[in-house]
Structure 1
């Protein structure tokens, strides 16, 4: 078992709710075997899309990106398009600043899981804090950035985006030892473990474990959010306290 140190990252859209000072939009909790973050936006993130593995390998020489959000605070997100659109319309609207008119905006609530496979155009709205798990790649194509002076990747984004409404998948939690599996994809699985007194976990595969709420003790050491550990397959951990932990394992384990 290895404890991982959080890495705060300043972003132009960053808020101040993560406990690392104003403007810190992301806290990277782990970079392998999965990239796991906390996100706190004070403003809209760019409207963006991630490439699938085949395109990314061919064009960028590295893997693509698939991710999911576990919502921590209520707010609004963009998830795909509100209607079927053409590549030409999206290009025109992105260039003239009217892309919002065709985006699918939706409200999300704490505890909700949002799966974002490659190709789904998306954005995170102000105040919508999330725990994010993704394949270990930070490859992002910005389609539209609300006028901020950052690089866009319009042609690449248009090459990989899905141009029709994409239903948000619904997931039924599955009981697992000590908690529940919230999401299983070909790339990773997401778990939730309530801590109510004592919790014993045995990792069947590499497991990134993060204390998100409350306080815990591990081998006599006091833990506070966002304490994060990497458990190797077969390792066992015993926690005491009150709170909530999320776990992420690669390859749908």
Structure 2
């Protein structure tokens, strides 16, 4: 078992709600075996898309990117398209600045989970803080950036974008010892563990545990958000206190 140190990252869209000062858009909690972050946008993130493994390996020579969000604060975000579009229409709208007319805006609430398979067009809106888990890849194609002077990757984004609405619903949580499995994907699982008194967590595989709320004790050590631990397969941890843990379980192929 290993304690990981958070790494604050400044972003042009960063807010001040993560406890590391203004302009900090991301706090990286772990970089392997999965990339786990907290995000706090004060402005809209770019409208972007991530490539699937097959495309990324062929074009970029490295794996693609699949991710999920656990919502920490309410607000609005972009999740896919509002209706089917052609590649040509998507290109024209991105260049003309009218892309927002075909994006699907979704209101989200704390505790909601959204899976973002590769190819899903997406963007976080102002004030929507999230816990983000993703395969450890840095491949992001910007499709639209609200006129900000940053590089776009229009043709590559069009190559991989899903050109029809992406289903938003997830199956109900599955009970597990001490908590519940919120999401299961081919690359990672997301689990939630409420802490009320005592909690025992046993890692099914490489597991990143992050304390999101409250205070937890592990032996004599006192932990507060966003404390993050890496548990190896088969390791157990027994916590005492009051709070909420999220766990990202890495699978083969992540």
Same structural fold, with TM-score higher than 0.5 when normalized by the shorter chain: yes
Counterpart in 2 of 1:28? 28
Q: Is the contact made by 1:198 and 1:238 (CA closer than 8 Å) also made in structure 2?
A: yes
Equivalence for 1:175: 175
Q: Do 1:195 and 1:240's aligned partners in 2 also have CA atoms closer than 8 Å? A: yes
> For the residues of structure 2 that align with 1:224 and 1:88, how far apart are their CA atoms?
49
Matches of 2:196 and 2:76 in 1, distance apart?
31
Cα deviation per residue 1:36-69 (whole Å; 9 max; x = unaligned)? 0000000000000000000000011000000000
1:143 corresponding residue in structure 2 = 143
Q: CA deviation at 1:234?
A: 1.1
Tell me the residue number matched to 1:227.
227
Deviation at 1:143, TM superposition (A): 0.1
Runs (4 or more) in structure 1 with deviation over 3 Å come to: none
Aligned to 1:186: 186
Shift of 1:202: 1.2
SS of the equivalent of 1:159 reads: helix
2:55 aligns with 55
In the alignment, which residue of structure 2 is the partner of 1:238? 238
- TM-score of the superposed pair, with normalisation by structure 1: 0.98
The offset of 1:138, in angstroms, is 1.9
Question: Does the Cα contact within 8 Å between 2:205 and 2:251 map onto a contact in 1?
Answer: no
RMSD: 1.1
1:212 corresponds in structure 2 to 212
Query: Counterpart of 2:106?
Result: 106
Cα distance in structure 2, aligned partners of 1:182 and 1:251: 15
| Aligned partner of residue 195 in structure 2, secondary structure | strand
Unaligned runs of 5+ in 1: none
| Cα distance in 1 for residues equivalent to 2:108 and 2:171 | 15
- Contact 1:115/1:169 (CA < 8 Å) preserved in 2? no
| Per-residue deviation, residues 164-216 of structure 1 (Å, max 9, x unmatched) | 11111322111111100000000100000000011111112111000000011
**TM-score normalised to the size of structure 2?**
0.98
| Deviation by residue 1:201-239 (Cα, 9 ceiling, x = unmatched) | 111211100000001111111111000000001111111
Aligned to 2:154: 154
Structure 1 position 85, deviation (Å): 0.7
Gaps of 5+ in 2: none
Once the two structures are superposed, what CA deviation does each residue of 1:99-135 show, in whole Å capped at 9, x if it has no partner?
Answer: 0001010101110000000001000000000000000
Aligned to 2:77: 77
Secondary structure of the residue aligned to 2:32 is coil
Q: Distance in 1 between matches of 2:55 and 2:219?
A: 45
User: When the two structures are aligned, how many residues end up with a matched partner?
Assistant: 253
Q: How does 1:108-147 map to 2 (within 5 A)?
A: 108-147=108-147
